[in-house]
Chains A and B, each alone.
Chain A
Amino acid sequence: MSGNHPGLSNNFIRSGEKFEWSKENLNEIKKIISKYPKERKQSAVMPLLYLAQEQNKNWVSIECIETIAETLQMPKIRVTEVASFYSMYNSQPVGKNLIQVCRTSPCWLRGSDKITDTICKETKCGINETSEDNLFTVVEVECLGACSNGPMIQINNDFYEDLDQESTKKIIENIKNNIPNKIGSQKGRKSSENA
């Protein structure tokens, strides 16, 4: 049973590969940890989870969790608790482009369901699924905070706003053909100025 929360499940899995911090990340970790009192290293668990996710092809494996627990000298279950609490840590491998479709009321009223349908059709994968070519993973999420520009989606770290079926289709096409997309409003307005 998946419950009412959107997103991937809480079941973290092993990648089967060893996870070791990259050199750059080790430096970054030092910086992050120095922000907290010495005996409160554990406070750095969330930024470290992000680093690990970034380094590990956009998902957090059990190996990542165990490395973080070791780095911060905290119990593994505590790291797992944090990682499972937040939906933005991915518990399973995701495609190159993680498409998050906002489904909260403002976007939904403006037709986010249609956007979801279009994306699923174009990428040939269902919600919470990864496409066969490993190019896309589609998930539904709650409010991403761009309500006045709904409906909107987030692909990896970028927002695409003011979508309709046409523009959504275009964005997916472009990704497939390796053509860079225009970030932000697809209707040409600046941030959230009056439409």
Chain B
Amino acid sequence: MSEDSLINIKINSKEIQVDKNLTVMQACEIAGEEIPRFCYHDKLSIAGNCRMCLVEIEKAPKLVSSCTMPLMDGMSIITNSEKVKAGRKGVMEFLLINHPLDCPICDQGGECDLQDQAMYYGFDKSRYHENKRAVDNKNMGPLVNTIMTRCIHCTRCVRFATEVAGVPEIGMLGRGENAEITTYLEQSITSELSGNVIDLCPVGALTSKPYQFKARPWELKRTDSIDIFDAIGSNIRIDSRAQEILRVTPRANDLINEEWITDKVRFNYDGYYQQRIDQPYIRKNGKLEPVSWPDAIKSLKQKLKQSKPLSVIGDQVDIETGYAVKKFMKNFGENNVECRTDNQAIIHNNIESIRFNTPLTEIENADLIILGGTNPRIEAPIINHKIFKAYNNFAEIFNIGENLDLNYPTHQIGNDLSNLNSEDLQKALKKSKNPLMIIGSGFLSNIQDVKTLKALFEFSYKYKIITEEKNNLNFLTPHASRIGNLLLGNTTNIDCQPLSSINKKDFDIILSFGSEVIANSDFENLFKVYFGHHGDEGALKADIILPTPLYTEKYGTFVNIEGRPQEAKKCHNPIGQAKEEWAILKELSNQLSLPFEIESFEDLRENLSKNYPELLLWNNIISIQKSEISSNNYQIENCKPIYPISNFYMADVISKNSITMAKCVEEILSKPLLEKSA
């Protein structure tokens, strides 16, 4: 901040120096004065329609709404005078005139801005004896419950839908006393981020449908965790009571998810308890039969003796488990663990070829964005929001791949990776000052030759996507476990098409840690062991099933696409007889008399941090070695995209078993299609 951007102001006769570009409200916050507000929100545009943030400014004839008022040199602001207090009381009284007195049955009760602020700034009783207004409830889809009589018209939801979610579907119809918030023709909101309006709503007008009448906030235990349904690593807070998770809300983290999370992680928690594998099973005469743990371990031990196992690691596996698997599999030889179950291509020993190299906060500063084989809207809605921000900053967006329905227009340039060489794109790239490229697993899982990957780097150097200061060539995987397990080296030394290229004849038994690929016909002749928590395709085909806990039932670390390890904490005990993977592997090692060296979870973490010290330094991005510049004139070969996710609401075993997600598919994905065809 340069000297001349600072101005002197007085707040409650205390002199402070602040940036002149701030508003009065922001200056008051810096000075430590709390200003009540309803419509103002950090991440949204300023509306100034709730009038709750009134302050007195010397020489101004009337009270001024502080959220909309720019600062001026020498301004003297008063926030605690009798006039201000009376003003707030007046505004509060007007807001409550048409607000129903239904706090006892309102889901927002206990965490309601209106309730709290009425307590601090309002009257203690009502002087209003007329009839209150009532408003019909509106349909907003299967996730957001509406009780519109409670609405105070702050328009946060309207601004969120337009500015953040990028789906301008919510609006305020009518005016004055007749004003009502609604979606267009009461259709469901079609955003993947729609659940965030629940947090934004300062009153109980928009609440969570699945959480309706379930609990009061003060009864809930709060557990910090990480979103594992995409690879962004959004910070979440899990609220539970006893052995049941009742809701999931975001934790603010400006470096990653800001204040938003996707609808998938917010609402699929009912799937945590459906179709759970609660005890070990063994296939006998073609039928899966429940057995005891000792029996299961015994028969697995018999199988593992004198055999060559292959391990595959699923898409939602923490690195502690990944490390235990790596350690266990070492006893059976090299190159027998693979986490790239979608055939992702990588350049070995080059972290830059697997991760998202641009800091997530920098995406919005790009002036040209190339999307290659990725649909960020469903693979990483948070990233899509950031691209939308860039679009609003006048960035041009190019898309290589199928025509996608993103929330912003794109220039479509073909359906093949080699279309990168198209003239239109090159012309735009030459003009661009800060270009950015995102290659998704759509292409990565179909690249046949590592030279293509190297050619992408050369292309990026040529067009200044990678320079000395920055690396804007990004790789986007939708799987939360991928980066962490690749950093652990849980992969074979095949660059491209690893899973397809593995010679299945070399192995006779496959251990799947939460991966459904064992259901593929490729593995038909192998003896299949499934470590997992949900009975889906993988478990159905398995010969032995061992129950393991969900990410909410154990401590674990997940590395996000930037290479930032974060801890997901344990919320409650595992369901049924589920045992953590490392404990199962320890037991197996003991039985097989193989070295394992890990006696407890603390041991596991200590051992892990000894070998990979950075992976347990939570919240910091691991150090990245810059890759060398090659200039071999590699060619980008033809490659068509195979998109990893087609249905946002049903992309993994947990979501597939969630009733709420099923409703979303029915009411959001299927309905508009029907209407379009009609």
Contact = CB atoms under 8 A, between A and B. Distances in A.
Interface in B139-189: 162, 168-178, 180, 183-185
Contact of A5 (B169, B170, B177, B180): B177
B134 interface: yes
A87 to B, nearest CB: 9
A127 to B, nearest CB: 16
Nearest to A83: B173
B133 interface: yes
B177 A77 contact: no
Contacts of A62: 185
A84 B184 CA distance: 12
A78 B168 contact: yes
A85 B170 contact: no
Given A1-B133, A10-B180, A84 B174 contact: yes
B175 A77 contact: no
A11 to B, nearest CB: 9
Nearest to B131: A1
Contact of A3 (B172, B177, B185): B177
A3 B133 contact: yes
A76 B178 contact: no
A3 B170 contact: no
Given A1-B133, A3-B133, A77-B183, A85 B171 contact: no
B133 to A, nearest CB: 7
A75 B169 contact: yes
Of A3, A75, A77, most buried by chain B (CB within 10 Å of CB) is: A77
B168 A75 contact: yes
Interface string B181-224: 00111000000000000000000000000000000000000000
B-side interface mostly: mixed
Interface in A68-88: 75-78, 80-81, 84-85
A4 interface: yes
Given A10-B174, A85-B174, A85-B175, A1 B134 contact: yes
Interface in A20-69: 62
B469 to A, nearest CB: 32
A114 B255 CA distance: 67
Contacts, number: 44
A3 B178 contact: yes
A28 to B, nearest CB: 26
A84 B175 CA distance: 8
Contacts of A3: 133, 176-178
Nearest to A73: B409
Contacts of B170: 77
Contacts of A76: 184
Given A3-B133, A75-B169, A80 B184 contact: yes
Contacts of A78: 168, 171
Of B133, B171, B176, B183, most buried by chain A (CB within 10 Å of CB) is: B171
B396 to A, nearest CB: 15
Given A80-B171, A81-B171, A5 B184 contact: no
A7 to B, nearest CB: 10
A80 B173 contact: yes
B148 to A, nearest CB: 12
A5 B133 CA distance: 13
Nearest to A1: B134
A118 B185 CA distance: 37
B174 A77 contact: no
Contact of B172 (A1, A4, A81): A81
Nearest to B177: A3
Contacts of A84: 173-175
A109 B208 CA distance: 51
Nearest to B168: A75
A144 to B, nearest CB: 18
A10 B173 contact: yes
A75 B178 CA distance: 22
Contacts of B174: 5, 10, 84-85
Contacts of B133: 1, 3
A4 B177 contact: yes
Given A1-B133, A62-B185, A77 B168 contact: yes
Interface in B517-567: none
Nearest to B136: A1
A89 B169 CA distance: 21
B178 A77 contact: no
Nearest to B183: A77
A78 B178 CA distance: 17
Given A62-B185, A77-B168, A77-B184, A5 B175 contact: yes
Contact of B176 (A5, A80, A81): A5
A86 B171 CA distance: 15
A90 to B, nearest CB: 14
Contacts of A77: 168-171, 183-184
A10 B185 CA distance: 11
Contacts of B169: 75, 77
Nearest to B180: A10
Interface string B397-416: 00000000000000000000
A77 B168 CA distance: 7
A81 B174 CA distance: 7
Of B133, B170, B178, most buried by chain A (CB within 10 Å of CB) is: B178
A110 to B, nearest CB: 26
A76 B172 CA distance: 12
Contacts of A80: 171, 173, 184
A85 B175 CA distance: 5
Nearest to B170: A77
Given A5-B177, A78-B168, 20 more contacts: A1-B133, A3-B133, A3-B177, A4-B176, A4-B177, A10-B174, A10-B180, A62-B185, A75-B162, A75-B169, A77-B168, A77-B170, A77-B183, A78-B171, A80-B173, A80-B184, A81-B171, A81-B172, A81-B173, A85-B173
17 contacts: A1-B134, A4-B177, A4-B178, A5-B174, A5-B175, A5-B178, A10-B173, A10-B178, A75-B162, A75-B168, A75-B169, A75-B184, A77-B170, A78-B168, A81-B171, A84-B173, A85-B174
Top 10 A-B residue pairs of the complex, sorted by shortest distance between their CB atoms: A75-B168, A77-B171, A84-B173, A77-B184, A3-B178, A10-B174, A81-B171, A3-B177, A10-B173, A85-B175
Interface of A: 1, 3-5, 10, 62, 75-78, 80-81, 84-85
